[in-house]
């Protein structure tokens, strides 16, 4: 490889594998690997792993690069979250990258000032809520309090407007499930009114994402497809009452990243998934994998603290996965890929030729 790749890429960096909630749609909860209670197996990423990760990305990876500070746990639980945000902000300023953060917002009040100060490199934050009714919320997000979450988000919006800041923009997320399907339209209308009230202008806007739930069998996926389709129809019947650009209906993760300013050509190669080519994931202990669903690290070639990023990312095991995807050799897909809930990816052939020599 003679130069850094020049295609949109993203890296997930897990700050902790500990979460304060048990959410019914979480892949770890569904597989019996609850991470709600801290213990000897709980991990918080340390500064050395952060340094090694950023150095690896800086020396190899492309721009624009989204650095997503979350994965299987709740990032705001990290005891040094403020220091990590500051380190990440320096990296992003140097490398023309930007931050992305997903949180359940239970502890948002601790860091509102810090996050608002980081708007230059943190263009967007996603708040995962999934309900408008407290009883439903507690059923889906066990251990949380909807009133606390809504107060925290409301205060964030109020502070941002009073300070005259355009960024970070926020996403209010609703994953369509059996337990919340009757609240979808009410959720959209409530948050549409709230976000419109606190709109601060700029080239982008705060949005509501209504997303289809994931499942790991064709039968369950068909069930989620029907739930999502019914909610979509309900929203479409009322679309004349709101600006549709503030409400996004997302059937899979391929279309879930809005560009802040950049535009890209249409990719010329469709793959089962683009993640093994463009989306490294580093867990809180430094283990690298190429899939956001690989919480068991079955695809991991090693640890960023033991080997440099380039050695891990171009390991034989990951190259074999990429080769299978390019050749659409489904028999040699990893097991997790064969059971993937419908993710798809698009790439440039020139990008693969430039970076992976395939």
Query: Residue 63 has what pLDDT?
Result: 58
Q: The pTM is what?
A: 0.88
pLDDT band at 34 (very low <50, low <70, confident <90, very high): very low
Give whole-number Cα distances, 31 to 27, 153, 325, in Å: 6, 30, 26
Query: Residue 322 has what pLDDT?
Result: 92
DSSP string, 216-246: SSHHHHHHHHHHHHHHHHHHHHTGGGS-GGG
Mean pLDDT of the chain: 85
The SS3 of residue 174 is: strand
Query: Residue 142 has what pLDDT?
Result: 94
DSSP string, 71-93: SSS-GGG-TTHHHHHHHHHHHHH
Is the pLDDT reported for residue 36 higher than 50?
A: no
Tokens (6 digits) for 58: 């800086």
In angstroms, the CA 119 to CA 289 distance is: 29
Is the pLDDT reported for residue 264 higher than 50?
A: no
pLDDT in tens, 245-256: 899 988 754 433
pLDDT in tens, 103-119: 999 999 999 999 999 99
Least confident range of 3-12, 14-23, 245-254: 3-12
Burial class (CB in 10 A: 0-12, 13-18, 19+), 34: middle
Nearest by Cα to 281 from 56, 38, 7, 5: 56
């Amino acid at each position: 490889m003679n130069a850094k790749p020049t295609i949109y890429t993203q890296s997930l960096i897990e700050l902790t594998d500990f979460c304060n909630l048990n959410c019914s749609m979480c892949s770890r909860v569904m597989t019996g690997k609850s991470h709600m209670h801290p213990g000897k197996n709980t991990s918080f990423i340390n500064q050395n792993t952060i340094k090694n990760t950023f150095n690896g990305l800086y020396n190899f990876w492309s721009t624009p690069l989204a650095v997503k500070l979350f994965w299987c746990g709740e990032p705001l639980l990290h005891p040094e979250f403020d220091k990590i945000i500051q380190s990440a902000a320096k990296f992003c300023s140097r490398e023309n990258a930007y931050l992305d953060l997903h949180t359940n917002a239970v502890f948002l009040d601790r860091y509102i000032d810090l996050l608002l100060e980081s708007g230059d490199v943190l263009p967007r934050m996603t708040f995962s809520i999934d309900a408008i009714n407290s009883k439903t919320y507690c059923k889906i997000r066990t251990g949380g309090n909807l009133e606390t979450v809504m107060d925290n988000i409301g205060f964030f919006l109020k502070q941002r407007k009073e300070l005259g800041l355009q960024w970070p923009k926020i996403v209010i997320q609703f994953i369509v499930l059996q337990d919340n399907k009757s609240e979808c339209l009410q959720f959209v209308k409530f948050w549409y009114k709230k976000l419109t009230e606190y709109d601060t202008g700029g080239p982008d806007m705060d949005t509501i994402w209504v997303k289809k739930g994931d499942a790991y069998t064709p039968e369950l996926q068909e069930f989620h497809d029907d739930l999502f389709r019914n909610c979509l129809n309900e929203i479409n019947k009322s679309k004349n009452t709101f600006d549709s650009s503030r409400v996004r209906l997302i059937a899979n993760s391929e279309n879930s990243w809005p560009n802040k300013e950049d535009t890209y050509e249409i990719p010329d190669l469709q793959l089962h998934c683009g993640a093994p080519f463009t989306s490294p994931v580093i867990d809180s202990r430094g283990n690298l994998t190429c899939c956001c669903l690989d919480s068991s690290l079955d695809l991991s070639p090693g640890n960023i603290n033991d080997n440099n990023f380039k050695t891990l990312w171009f390991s034989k095991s990951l190259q074999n996965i990429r080769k299978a995807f390019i050749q659409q050799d489904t028999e040699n897909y990893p097991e997790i890929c064969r059971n993937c809930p419908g993710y798809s990816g698009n790439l440039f052939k020139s990008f693969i030729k430039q970076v992976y020599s395939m």
